[in-house]
Structure 1
């Protein structure tokens, strides 16, 4: 999740199926999204470079069903996480910023566990403060270099998530 669902979360939602193991499904939304907006052109260009079509993406607002139905909720910034938890405090054990989840799960004893839910529980038990690991920088309106940096960051974090939640294969260290 991000703000408008036209840059970070939209990119991650479209890129994830090419990085994550098939057992892991995801969707994207924005906490302040206006419905039906296309992907930001700079981020769309990053997907195109990676061979992924983005013309079908339309932004959508985060809804209660998104939170209640998810095993794991990953936000792009700590303020997104705070907003989600203010509305749905019962989801506290499943809501992280993307960098926070990766950092927390990497230090958790259940790393490499074949049960993704155990990894998520352990990440919560050993969570690092969201602000201590930073947010995924918002590239909106910042030009092509910011979009490249955001895409590279998201690709790296998605590989990490896959290594943490689907550790059947040897961990990868570079993006395809």
Structure 2
């Protein structure tokens, strides 16, 4: 049973998918806003607000409950590596340090979309966008691989934050 509480790769994966469904309405709003329904300032402000909402969802829910909605459904919880307490706000921020670091890039992208006549297609062709995309893909692969090759199934962000994800009984 000891190793069983860490055997949660699939649960974590499905939790991410469920959390993606939670954000689906925001993606619909994003598509509507980027369709030209509102002006440039509105597009830019929406981009900033939606990025902050995304990060806040994970940071606040992990700090307060140790779980996002997806983790609640899949019955896994983020706790301090000692497994004796919930994670702190600082630990929760450290778990999401990469999205937090990416926030200025997100603001840059929405500024390009809002004020400089760029489209998603034109941004996809830019070297900065391609480099950032490759870095993010590499990060996701590193996270996944790191979870598979340690006893407690800790991803890199768990090591950074001093946390571990366990099954709830």
Instruction: Indicate whether the TM-score tops 0.5.
Output: no
Ranked by relative contact order (alpha carbons within 8 Å, sequence separation 6 or more), the top structure is: 2
Normalising to structure 1: TM-score of the pair? 0.27
